[in-house]
Structure 1
C-alpha cells in the first residue's frame, strides 16, 4: 500500500480553509441582501435551523452515540452562540459599511486569550498584549471616521466579537468531549430554534417573501452555513487550531473586497488605517503561527 504524502493533508487543509474564508465572506453579502426582505432574527434563526438540520443528517450516527451530558453541553454552547450571532446579524442590519464591520468583528480572535485568562486562568501569549493596543487604536480610528462617535452597528459588532470570543473558548472545552460535526449541528439547531422563537413576539413577520429574498436565504443556508461549516470542520481536523486561525483571519479581507465589488463600498483614509491596524493586530497576535506558515512554504 502506498504511503500518504505528509505535505498533502496540510496543503489540502490550507486550500479548504481558504475556501471557507471566501464562503464566510460571501455570507456577509447574502445576509445583507436577505435582510432587505426579512427581519434580522427571523432570517438568522431560519438560516441556522435549516443549516443545522442538513448537517445533522451527516452527523446522524455521531449524534446517536452522544450521552445526555454531551447534549446538554452542546446545547449550552449553542445558547452562547445564539447571543453572539444575534448581535452579529443586528450589526449587519444596522451597518453602513460591511467591510469595516467585518474587521471589527475579527476583534473576537484577539479577545479569545483574554477571555481564556478571565474565565479559565490561562496565560495569554506576550503577543496578545502587544496586539490589543494596536487593535484599539484601529477601532478608535474607525469611530473617529464617524465624527468622534461610535455608531450603533459598530457597537453591535464589538459586542458580537466579545460573544464570539466566549463561544470559541467554550467550544474549545466542549469539543474535547463532543466531536466537531455533531457539536456544530446541535449548536446551529439550538441557535435556529432560540432566535426564531425570540423573533416571533418581537419582530413583524412578513406576509410573504419575494423570490429574491428566498434566493438569498437559500444561498446563506447552502453556501455560507452548511457548506462552510462542513468544510471548516473537515479542514480543522487536518491541521492545528492555531494554524487554521491564521488563514481564517482572511475572512475580513475578503468581505471588504467583495463588498467593494458588490455594493460599491469605498473606505475613507481613517477607515483604511483603522482596518489595517486591526488586521496588523491579528497578525501580531498569531505571529508565531504566521512565521511557521511561511517557513513551511
Structure 2
C-alpha cells in the first residue's frame, strides 16, 4: 500500500465518521415526526435494498449456511438498533447518547472473552473502569436516577458489542475442530453481501416490532413530507453510503488507522447536536463523555501506539 492510498483511506474514514455523526441528526429529526421503530424499518429496508442491488452477485453465490449466519448477525443488530432508536427518541441530549452508545467498543473484548473465550490485552481491563466512571458521571448527576434514554443507550451498546463480535466472525474464515478430529472450515461471508443481508434483517425485525407496538395511524393522518427527506437521507447517506465508504476505505487502510479514526464518531455527533439542536453539556456531562472517550482510546491503545510509531 503506497502513501497515497494510506492518506486516501484516512480521509475516507473521516468521511465515514462524519456520515455516522450526521446520521444521528437525520434520525433524531425523523423520530420527531414518526414512530421510531417504523422509521428504522423504512431506513434499513431502503438501505438494505440498495446494497442488495449492488451486491446481488455475491448474495446469489452464498451457501445456505452463509445466509443463515448473515441473517443471525442482522437479527442481533436489529435488536440493538431497536434499543438505540428508542433511546434516541427519549433522550434530550443526542451528544451524550453518542458517547454512551460508543461504550459498545469497550464492551466488545469483554463479550468476546465471556462468550467466545478469546484472550484480551490488559488495555481492555484498564479501559473498562474508566468507561464505567464516565457512565457514572452521566447517570449520577442528579443522584442515582439514570434516565430511560441513558439505560436504553447502554443496553444498545452491550448488544452492539455482541453484534460487532458476531459480524467479525462471520466476515472471516474460521476453522472449527470437531470432536472426531475432523476440521471443518466455515467460509467467510463477503462484506457487501453480509452487510446487505444484515441491513434487510434489521428492517424486518424493526418492522415486526413496530407492527406490534406502535400506531401508524397518526403519522398517516397527519403525514409530513419531511418524513421522506429524513428517511431518504438516513438510508442513503447515514446507512448505505456509510457502510459502502467504510468497506472501501478499509480495503485501502491498515487496521490501526481505521480503529483510531472511528473513535471520532461521538465527537462529531456532539458537535453536530450543538450546532443543529443547540445542545449544551453541563460540566459533569462533559467530564463523563471525556472519560468515555478516554476509555475508547485506552481500549484501542495498541492501534494508537502503532499509528504514532508510523508517524
Aligned position for 1:69: 65
Q: For structure 1, which segment, 49-58 or 140-149, has the greater mean C-alpha deviation from structure 2 after superposition?
A: 140-149
Cα distance change on mapping 1:82 and 1:244 into 2, 3 Å: same
Q: Does 1:192 align with 2:203?
A: yes
Is 2:218 aligned against 1:204?
Answer: no
Q: Matches of 2:276 and 2:142 in 1, distance apart?
A: 23
Deviation at 1:190, TM superposition (A): 0.8
SS at match of 1:145: coil
Q: How does 1:41-52 map to 2 (within 5 A)?
A: 41-52=37-48
Paired with 1:197 and 1:164, the residues of 2 have a C-alpha distance of 20
Aligned to 1:164: 160
**Which contiguous aligned blocks of 4+ residues in structure 1 show a shift greater than 4 angstroms?**
none
Query: Please, what is the CA RMSD of the aligned residues?
Result: 1.2
Structure 2: 5+ residue stretches without partners? 173-187
Q: How far, CA to CA, are the matches of 1:240 and 1:109 in structure 2? A: 18
Corresponding residue for residue 127 of structure 2: 131
**2:194 pairs with 1:183:** yes
Q: Report the Cα distance in structure 2 between the residues aligned to 1:135 and 1:46, rounded to whole angstroms.
A: 33
* 8 Å Cα contact 2:256-2:304 kept in structure 1: no
Is 2:39–2:231's contact at 8 Å kept on the other side of the alignment? yes
Q: How does 1:264-275 map to 2 (within 5 A)?
A: 264-275=278-289
1:66-119, Cα deviation, whole Å (9 max, x unpaired) = 111110110011100110010110010011100011000000000111100011
Q: Does 1:294 align with 2:305?
A: no
Q: 1:91 aligns with which of 87, 90, 112?
A: 87
Aligned pair count reads 293
The 8 Å contact of residues 71 and 198 in structure 2, kept in 1 or not, is answered as yes
> Could you tell me whether the CA contact under 8 Å between 1:107 and 1:278 is conserved in 2?
yes
Counterpart check, 1:243 vs 2:277? no
1:159-198 C-alpha deviation (Å, 9 max, x unpaired): 0000110001001111021111110000000111121122
TM-score (structure 1 length as normaliser)? 0.96
Q: Trace 1:140-151 onto structure 2 (pairs within 5 A).
A: 140-151=136-147
Q: Is the 8 Å Cα contact of residues 256 and 306 (structure 2) preserved in structure 1?
A: no
Gaps of 5+ in 1: none
